[in-house]
Structure 1
Amino acid sequence: MDYSKLGKRIREERKKLNLTQAQLAEAIDISDTYMGAIERGERSLTLDTLVRLVERLGVTVDYMLSDSVSDSDSNIMNQIKQVIDNQPLERKQMAVNVLRTIFSYFEGDS
């Protein structure tokens, strides 16, 4: 997650509505210090805060995150890890087998 890009987008949307950081922070129930740190990309924000933020700004979460989340290998691996982390060992092994099957199918297309 690129928090500086997210912060920049938040700042742009806030300014479109002619809101100060303090006004936006008050509207979403966070401190203006925290709001400033979010806009500078110095702090992350919780999902709850993000939802309140996009609702107040009148945008969607996917729009807000569109250029902040990369599809790098490490990001994709983290997503896979999140999906299978709390699964029992047998299901994890099943998932690995399914992935192997999918990739072997694609190797046949080459």
Structure 2
Amino acid sequence: MDESTISRRLGIAVRKHRVALDLSQDKFADVIQMHRAYYSSIERGERNITVWTLWRVAEGLGVKPSDLMAEANL
């Protein structure tokens, strides 16, 4: 599996949880104190994020980072 596939799958899992919380990308990015454009690129699978960033996103979503990884089949 290549890097872009991994990032894309993770972005889809992240977006699913954000939408379930009924939050816009702007609002969620504010909640986790991340720039909206950077967060948006995570959801689009354009970023190879660090473990720290994954943890911040997962915490904001109220899930474990491992749950996001599992949902992305990684």
Global fold match (TM > 0.5): yes
**4+ runs deviating over 4 angstroms:** none
- Identity score, percent: 35
The aligned counterpart of 1:31 is 35
Deviations, residues 43-72 of structure 1 (Å, cap 9, x unaligned): 122222211111110111111011352xxx
Unaligned residue ranges in structure 2 (runs of 5+): none
> In the comparison of the two structures, how many residue pairs are matched?
69
Deviations, residues 7-44 of structure 1 (Å, cap 9, x unaligned): 00100000000011111111111111011110000112
For residues 3-14 of structure 1, the aligned pairs below 5 Å read 3-14=7-18
Which of the residues 53, 58, 63 maps onto 2:62?
58
CA distance in 1, matches of 2:19, 2:10: 14
The aligned counterpart of 1:21 is 25
Q: Structure 1 length as normaliser, TM-score?
A: 0.58
> Given that residues 3 and 68 in structure 1 are in contact (C-alpha distance below 8 angstroms), is that contact kept between their aligned partners in structure 2?
no
Aligned: 1:49 with 2:53:
yes
Decide which structure has the larger Cα Rg and report it: 1
Higher relative contact order (CA 8 A, sep 6+): 2
CA distance in 2, matches of 1:55, 1:30: 13
Q: Structure 2 length as normaliser, TM-score?
A: 0.83
Q: Which amino acid aligns with 2:29?
A: A
Q: CA deviation at 1:3?
A: 0.5
CA distance in 2, matches of 1:46, 1:28: 15
